[in-house]
Structure 1
């Protein structure tokens, strides 16, 4: 898990990977460091962005996120499933016990609540 500001690209990033190398499955969530501008709103690029190992990119795309100290469950929209070539609309990821849960929770909430309120997923912490 990584959560950090990427100043050269002017975004905040949360990265989740199946393994330490990140070479297998991974999800990257990004949000700009500045509010969306009019052009971003017109192009519907006014929310968080999701990237994965297939090279897929989708803005918004989550309807629900449930996070606990042991796992995260993501529910994706049908459009995001297609764009990201996901195997299912709901993806569950185990959280390594060594991960700082509070840091992960805060970072993920920061990214997923960025921009257009209509694209913010329901977030529950259990």
Structure 2
């Protein structure tokens, strides 16, 4: 995965965990602006049931700031101390209204990189193994 110099936006806010006990585990990253850019990566606490598998809702979910939703959709994820590199499928790019398949996000100094790493590993490993991206975390 390439590592372009300028990030698409910088992660200034991170929230990771269950917002409601027994509810979805989420990794919410944002640029710190009230109506700014964000991605919310989620997984359910239990493995997908038969209906979720039939409907292809059997993996992690990504929600973008514009309300786009996609299940699965990442091919590769790499985390560096100051960068998060994400490579999406073409379908996910369209659903999430992203500028390209490869998105580089800066990681601000105050962001807990270990919390981000642990949360991403938990969410992105959920469900259908065919939808789990290659991870360098």
TM-score (norm 1): 0.93
Of 16, 28, 48, which residue of structure 2 is paired with 1:3? 16
The residue that corresponds to 2:8 in the other structure is none
Task: Compute the RMSD of aligned alpha carbons.
Answer: 1.3
- Higher relative contact order by CA 8 Å / sep ≥ 6: 1 or 2? 2
**Where do 4+ consecutive residues of structure 1 move more than 4 Å?**
none
User: CA shift at 1:7, angstroms?
Assistant: 2.4
Q: Which runs of 5+ in 2 are unaligned?
A: 1-13
The answer to whether the 8 Å contact 2:22/2:45 transfers is no
Where does 1:1-126 land on structure 2 (aligned, <5 Å)?
1-7=14-20, 10-18=23-31, 20-125=32-137
Q: Structure 1 residues 77 and 22, CA, compared in 2 at 3 Å: closer, same or farther?
A: farther
Residue aligned with 1:39, SS? helix
Count the aligned residue pairs. 124
Where 2:36 maps in the other structure, the secondary structure is coil
Q: What is the TM-score normalised by the length of structure 2?
A: 0.86
SS in 1 for 2:67: coil
Instruction: In structure 1, list runs of 5 or more residues that go unmatched.
Output: none
